[in-house]
Structure 1
């Protein structure tokens, strides 16, 4: 016959089970609390580190912009100007040995690449790091395009050779990367200007139909950024700088030509200026004293050529 538990034994067993459940629950609760405290202790330094990094992120110092100009942007621009000058001579039939000229362009691209690659860009200036990468990729593409062109020149007339080169996939990518790198550099200048003057936005993306009335209210560093954006969007590789284009837009507006032609948007003016080749390198310097005497600019050589 099955033996029944006495009342005392039953109470003892239930008490033991209750204590066991309580002990197990207390154990897991302690583990949970301990884990949470450990996570909080580990997260606090990470949070402080993250806050410190965030505080220093996107820090664009004037000396970094100047250093980038001399070590990356200027070597690239020297090559670009040589490329454009060579293409003009090819188009005009002024080169007796096109293959040799293209090989020289290839060598120039390689030299500019080596110089720009050696430049040190601050880790907390991501736009400058991106600009350097884009310009280096551009130089690689131009190097390859020139080499390919030199190897397939044969007896093609200069104009036909230029057309073939400008439709080459390497050239197309070279232009894309070059203008993207330039755009990043001017975006970095805008970041710098915002750190100096809080009334200037650190970022600005102009609407497609930016009116001339709104354009006139923008600070110069914003206008330059818009000009760099528009050149990139149009894949327009030119010897002039974005500030040259911005100044020509301002001159066009101030002279009354935009009003006389019933133009209302910045894009309409830019399209006209580019189509008619009405922008030249140095246009900004010619109008700087008259239009921008009180504007904030970083101390870069192409903004202050008189100091070179």
Structure 2
């Protein structure tokens, strides 16, 4: 009897141990399978995220180029005509101001439609810039129609002053400057994807020393110049990069030091107030001031296309 019990107990013990081994083995096997599947899942997710991020990068060069030709250029073409008309007024060379401003109103309307022909909203800053340029052109349309009416009763000198003080024109200018800021901010975003040493965003301190300015990349400098023009509500015929090059020229030549100017704002004030900046200044000094600058391949950065 004792022998049978001993054999039964032994068989039971062996069976129990065998089951225990199987259970433990199954447990660890399940853990390993789960671990492998989890790693595969996250690896696939990471790869997918990387591909999606690459495909959806909002500030690629082709986006900046597309924006230039489809939105910026139509606005710029109108702006050039606007400044040409205002120059005629300042020189008293036009006796047909009414028809001139009617033509400008029609041109602004056409260019607003042209700038609306594409959707740039995939890139937030470019989308913002597009909207602001379109609003600017629509306001320029209104300002031009008002100027056409005023031209019937005012002299050319009075008309120019009246236009520049009119709220619709001032709003049109502010929207254009806002659009310009967003476009140059988008260029900075692009530059940061090409060179990780360049920040994707940069806000100037209240007092930016020229020693700090000298160490900034060209895309940061251009963005800051668009900020400076916006702060001063200064709509100009020249580009932010033209102002950048004049500041750099002023610093490199030692003129800033001679005049004991130590901050960026003080130099910008001097250059703007003395009308020392011209369209084309950047291209004229590009080869001497900048060695292989990191800039998107846009026509207004290229000597060959200007």
Give the TM-score band, short-chain normalised.
0.7 to 0.9
Maintained 8 Å contact 1:64/1:122: no
Maintained 8 Å contact 1:189/1:221: yes
Match in the other structure for 1:62: 61
Q: 1:221 aligns with which of 219, 222, 238?
A: 219
Structure 2 gaps of 5+ residues are: 1-44
**1:295 Cα offset (Å):** 1.4
Structure 1 gaps of 5+ residues are: 1-46
Q: Secondary structure at the match of 1:302?
A: helix
Q: Determine the C-alpha separation between the residues in 2 that align with 1:56 and 1:209.
A: 39
Q: Determine the C-alpha separation between the residues in 2 that align with 1:75 and 1:55.
A: 30
Q: Does 1:277 align with 2:275?
A: yes
**1:305 Cα offset (Å):** 3.1
Match in the other structure for 2:240: 242
**1:122 Cα offset (Å):** 4.9
Match in the other structure for 1:112: 111
Q: Secondary structure at the match of 2:295?
A: coil
Q: Determine the C-alpha separation between the residues in 1 that align with 2:98 and 2:167.
A: 19
Q: Does 1:163 align with 2:161?
A: yes
Superposed CA RMSD: 1.9
Match in the other structure for 2:150: 152
Match in the other structure for 1:84: 83
Match in the other structure for 1:95: 94
Q: Does 1:252 align with 2:250?
A: yes
Q: Determine the C-alpha separation between the residues in 1 that align with 2:61 and 2:160.
A: 39
Q: Determine the C-alpha separation between the residues in 2 that align with 1:140 and 1:274.
A: 28
What do residues 212-253 of structure 1 show as CA deviations (whole Å, max 9, x unaligned)? 110000000000000001111111111100000000000011
Q: Determine the C-alpha separation between the residues in 1 that align with 2:234 and 2:186.
A: 20
Match in the other structure for 2:70: 71
Q: TM-score, normalised by structure 2?
A: 0.81
Match in the other structure for 1:40: none
Q: Determine the C-alpha separation between the residues in 2 that align with 1:58 and 1:163.
A: 45
**1:120 Cα offset (Å):** 2.6
Maintained 8 Å contact 2:150/2:159: no
**1:188 Cα offset (Å):** 0.2
Q: TM-score, normalised by structure 1?
A: 0.81
What do residues 103-139 of structure 1 show as CA deviations (whole Å, max 9, x unaligned)? 111111111111101023151x100000000000000
Q: Determine the C-alpha separation between the residues in 1 that align with 2:305 and 2:88.
A: 32
Match in the other structure for 1:302: 300
**1:293 Cα offset (Å):** 2.0
**1:54 Cα offset (Å):** 7.3
Q: Determine the C-alpha separation between the residues in 2 that align with 1:126 and 1:160.
A: 41
What do residues 240-267 of structure 1 show as CA deviations (whole Å, max 9, x unaligned)? 0000000000001111111111001111
1:18-37 to structure 2, matched below 5 A, reads: none
Q: Does 1:233 align with 2:194?
A: no
Q: Secondary structure at the match of 2:299?
A: coil
Q: Determine the C-alpha separation between the residues in 1 that align with 2:134 and 2:305.
A: 28
Match in the other structure for 2:170: 172
Q: Determine the C-alpha separation between the residues in 1 that align with 2:92 and 2:204.
A: 41
Q: Secondary structure at the match of 1:198?
A: coil
Match in the other structure for 1:42: none
Q: Does 1:204 align with 2:202?
A: yes
